[in-house]
Copies of this chain bind each other. A is one copy, B any other.
Amino acid sequence: MDPTPIPTSDTPRKATTIKDVARRARCSIASVSRVVNDSGPVSGALRLRIAAAVAELEFRPSEVGRSLVLKRSRTIGVLVPSVTNPVFADCLAGLQETARRGGHAVLIAQSNYEAGREVEAIEPLIAERPAGLVLTVCDPASSEARARAAAAGIPTVLLFNEASDPGVALVTVDNRGAGRDLAAALIGRGHRRIAFVAGRFAASDRARARYEGVRDALVAAGLPVEPPVEADFIDGPDRIDLADILDRLRPTAIVASNDLLAIGVVAALRRHGLAVPDDVSVAGFDGIAIGGLIAPSLATIAWPARAMGTTAAAMLLDLVAGRGREPGRTLTLPHLFRPGGTLADAPNTSR
């Protein structure tokens, strides 16, 4: 009844190999391989003997051996800025699940939002000879990491990045359009002084594109455009300094470059004695789940983060299998403005 007993000490037991199975089934390793991979013909009787041997010996083919001969492993490498940002965690969850169903394991790496760390992060992944890579880089046009992947001839899908050059597989969203939509929602609510706060602006083409979109809308509405405020905020509860922008622009609304940052901005405003949304409205991007649970709920542009992960994995597996549709397919998933309690009409004092 009990499960397999768990040895107390590490028993460096040798794994059973294809040879063990062949010996047990009194046949050649080739036949074992044929049965295990369902490649090539095997008679019913032999097939049965082999299946029995596999079961009795609990044979699990080594992916290492297979990878060596096939020149690539059934592994997908994933590089994201950080796994602690819920939007990337969601991606990763979906990606991993899809990869697993496709018989692939997932290797992870983090750049910590630093372009300079992308290479050292991706190098160990490439060394594992993955079947493919999914990357979210700081700047796709100049990404050394991408260059390395390409030089190694590893099929790659970019995730969340802005379209840079053609001929690239990309799963993304319309960041700039999202910025326009969000700003339009704010302007429609009567806001005239709108600030943009970004974390590591230089390290995120998404943040830059979202800012461009917000700017588009502001310009179109004849409203003042401020340069983005850079917050030194990385997935953590670090203090965000809004003093300067609050003094200078006295914004009635703040757009943060992502939801995590937006929640930090709400907290910072609170520390400044400002009420959200009564004094200042706040909105972000990503649509992370927690934004809908807190009070006031976070107004945001939501995209299907998990589905982006699954889609990227599916696209990559297609590429790997040679079922690559047009090389360099870009898939832009839809976004949706999600109203929230952090967004209200502009206060009268500002009208």
Contact = CB atoms under 8 A, between A and B. Distances in A.
**Contact residue range for chain A?**
35 or more
A226 interface: no
A110 B97 contact: yes
Most buried by B among A71, A89, A167: A89
Contacts of A241: none
Contacts of A5: 147
Contacts of A8: 165-168, 327-328
A64 B129 contact: yes
Interface stretch (A18-26, A202-210, A217-225, A290-298): A290-298
Interface in A103-162: 103-110, 121, 123-129, 142-144, 146-148, 150-153, 155
A296 B77 CA distance: 39
B237 A263 contact: no
Contact of A294 (B61, B86, B166, B263): B263
A106 B108 contact: yes
Contacts of A93: 82-84, 110
Interface stretch (A39-47, A184-192, A249-257, A264-272): A264-272
B9 A167 contact: yes
A152 B13 contact: yes
A293 B266 contact: yes
A152 B15 contact: yes
A4 interface: yes
A37 interface: no
A37 to B, nearest CB: 13
Given A14-B153, A235-B289, A4 B127 contact: no
A278 interface: no
Given A60-B126, A82-B93, A6 B150 contact: yes
A67 interface: yes
A350 interface: no
Contacts of A127: 60-63, 105
Q: Which 7 A-B pairs have the closest CB atoms?
A: A8-B167, A4-B147, A13-B153, A267-B293, A63-B127, A294-B294, A84-B89
